[in-house]
Structure 1
Amino acid sequence: MKIHIDTNVCTGHGVCEGIRPDIFEVGDDGIVHLVSEDFTEDDRQDLEDAVDQCPTQALRLEG
């Protein structure tokens, strides 16, 4: 499982960071970055929620 962030459309709203601050972080550049890429199936629901709630649809879950 992998998260792809489209940095061309991310505007740093931070919704994903609010859902999982241990995985997502809005950087000083105003774009979300991954804090961790060690995902497990236990994380899937939260990751799907982050993808679904992203206001700019900048996140995609693969796998």
Structure 2
Amino acid sequence: MQILVDRGKCQGYGNCAVAEPRVFDLDENGIVKVLVDAPSEELRDQVKYAVLDCPARALHLEG
């Protein structure tokens, strides 16, 4: 699983960072930053939830 980010769509809500802070954070401009490009299977469910919880639909999963 790889996380894809459309930084142009990100509105800085931070839902992803709240859902899975080991994988997502916000940068100094309040835009999503991925801390782990290919998270482990252990984190899979939380990452999926974080992606679905993005109101701006700026996150996508591949693989």
Task: Give TM-score scaled by structure 2 length.
Answer: 0.90
**SS of the residue 1:8 aligns to:** coil
Instruction: For residue 42 of structure 1, report the CA deviation from its aligned partner.
Output: 1.6
CA RMSD of aligned residues (A): 1.0
Task: Give TM-score scaled by structure 1 length.
Answer: 0.90
Structure 2 portions without partners, runs of 5+: none
Structure 1 portions without partners, runs of 5+: none
Instruction: For residue 38 of structure 1, report the CA deviation from its aligned partner.
Output: 4.4
Q: Runs of at least 4 residues of structure 1 off by over 6 A? A: none
1:12 & 1:43 partners in 2: Cα distance? 22
1:36 & 1:52 partners in 2: Cα distance? 17
1:40 & 1:5 partners in 2: Cα distance? 18
**SS of the residue 2:16 aligns to:** helix
**Structure 1, residues 23-61: CA drift from partner, whole Å, max 9, x if none?**
111111121001223411121111110111100000001
